[in-house]
């Protein structure tokens, strides 16, 4: 296993989770932020458990992807930024390394390109998920089921103050799935926005093509949270999910790492790992 973005918040947490898993071996850590640093020092700063740190040995952070092929990694996990992840994914598809990608900020065109790169011409597979929390995957599944039955839908996503993209990949994925569910069920179009005067630009959030409003909150103290609000005459339903610690993403990441070799081509989201 190798990790792109190993010095970052998520990447370091993935390194710790892999080191704690007895059936996985961490052989490469890539991050241009601290090339040559001992990974043990990086993880030590993140308060890793002593047993975990012993397993990391003298592994050093590398600056480029070739460290993965030098170390013989079969699977790479990427938690970086979209621009870097595009290059890392291309590299994985060309070097027969399966990719598990948590980085967010990809467009539909990006996902089409990934499907192409990891298509018939590549021996590597990729699993891309905007959210590796199993609770969030179930939240999206519930939202999809509820979407056809309400007149109106809005989403509020709340994240830590360092998040660079907005709205979150999870909120966009949730909206896409709800729109598809409404379309498949033949639901009426979502109502037009009643706002006639916006005293502050952006007050109604971003709006998807089908009319779902997405609102982004950024605050220190938050990790990753989302509310999906459904409304019909006389009733509302709110589905809320909270990741209160980055470790909440690790069971999903490890599940994907173990499964990706058997999932040909590009897989999007965790649903196929959760029995649907």
Say how far apart CA 168 and CA 106 lie, in whole Å.
10
Residue 255 interacts with ligand NAD (CB under 6 A)? no
Q: Judged by CB under 6 A, does residue 31 bind ligand NAD?
A: yes
Per rule CB under 6 A, is residue 171 in the interface with ligand NAD? no
Which positions from 49 through 78 interact with ligand NAD, judged by CB under 6 A?
A: none
Q: Total binding residues for ligand NAD by CB under 6 A?
A: 27
Q: Does 156 bind ligand NAD (CB under 6 A)?
A: no
Catalytic residues: 159, 163
Which region, judged by CB under 6 A, interacts with ligand NAD, from 2-10, 113-121, 207-215, 228-236?
Answer: 2-10
Structure tokens, 95: 């070097």
Q: Least distance (Å) from ligand NAD to the CB of residue 106?
A: 9
Among the residue ranges 7-15, 43-51, 91-99, 199-207, the one whose residues contact ligand NAD (CB under 6 A): 7-15
Q: Indicate whether 114 belongs to the interface with ligand NAD (CB under 6 A).
A: no
CB 217 within 8 Å of CB 168: no
Pick 251 or 265: Cβ nearer ligand NAD = 251
Given 52, 93, 104, 216, the residue binding ligand NAD (CB under 6 A): 104
Binding mask 121-140 for ligand NAD (x = CB under 6 A): --------xxxx--------
- Give me the residue whose beta carbon is nearest to ligand NAD: 8
- Which has the closest alpha carbon to 269: 130, 141, 174, 136? 130
- Residue closer to ligand NAD, measured from CB, 131 or 171: 131
3-state helix, strand, coil in the chain (%, to 5): 40, 20, 40
Residue ranges in the chain assigned as alpha helix (H): 9-20, 39-45, 50-56, 66-71, 82-94, 108-117, 134-146, 169-185, 250-259
Q: Does 81 contact ligand NAD by CB under 6 A?
A: yes
Report the distance separating Cα 109 and Cα 221, nearest Å: 33
132 within 8 A of 252, measured Cβ to Cβ: yes
Structure tokens at 48: 């890793």
From the list 18, 26, 30, 153, which residue makes contact with ligand NAD (rule: CB under 6 A)?
30
CB neighbours (10 Å) of residue 262?
Answer: 8
11 lies in the site for ligand NAD, by CB under 6 A: yes
Q: DSSP assignment, residue 166? A: S
CA distance 42 to 12: 8
Residue 45 as a binder of ligand NAD (CB under 6 A): the answer is no
Minimum CB distance to ligand NAD, residue 21 (Å)? 17
Decide if residue 48 touches ligand NAD (CB under 6 A).
no
Residues ≥6 apart with Cβ < 8 Å to 113: 86
Q: CA-CA distances (angstroms) from residue 128 to 61, 199, 217?
A: 24, 38, 24
**Site residues, ligand NAD (CB under 6 A):** 4-5, 7-11, 30-33, 79-81, 84, 88, 102-105, 129-132, 163, 224, 249
């Amino acid at each position: 296993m190798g990790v792109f973005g190993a010095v970052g918040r998520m990447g370091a947490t993935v390194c710790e989770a892999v080191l704690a898993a007895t059936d996985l071996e961490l052989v490469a850590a890539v991050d241009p932020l601290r090339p040559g640093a001992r990974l043990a020092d990086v993880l030590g700063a993140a308060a890793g458990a002593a047993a975990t740190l012993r397993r990391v040995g003298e592994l050093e952070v590398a600056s480029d992807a070739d460290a993965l092929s030098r170390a013989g990694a079969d699977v790479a996990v990427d938690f970086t930024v979209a621009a870097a992840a595009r290059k890392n994914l291309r590299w994985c598809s060309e070097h027969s390394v399966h990719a598990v990608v948590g980085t967010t900020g990809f467009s539909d065109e990006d996902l089409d390109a990934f499907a192409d790169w990891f298509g018939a011409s590549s021996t590597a597979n990729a699993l891309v998920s905007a959210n590796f929390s199993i609770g969030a995957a179930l939240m999206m599944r519930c939202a999809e089921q509820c979407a056809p039955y309400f007149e109106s839908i809005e989403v509020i996503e709340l994240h830590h103050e360092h998040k660079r993209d907005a709205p979150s990949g999870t909120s966009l994925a949730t909206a896409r799935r709800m729109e598809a569910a409404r379309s498949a069920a033949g639901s009426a179009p979502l109502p037009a926005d009643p706002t006639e005067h916006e005293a502050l630009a952006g007050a109604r959030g971003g709006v998807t093509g089908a009319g779902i409003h997405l609102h982004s909150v950024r605050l220190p103290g938050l990790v990753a949270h989302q509310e999906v609000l459904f409304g019909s005459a006389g009733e509302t339903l709110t589905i809320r999910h909270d990741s209160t610690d980055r470790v909440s993403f690790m069971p999903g990441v490890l599940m994907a790492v173990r499964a990706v070799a058997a999932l040909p081509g590009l897989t999007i989201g965790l649903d196929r790992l959760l029995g649907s």
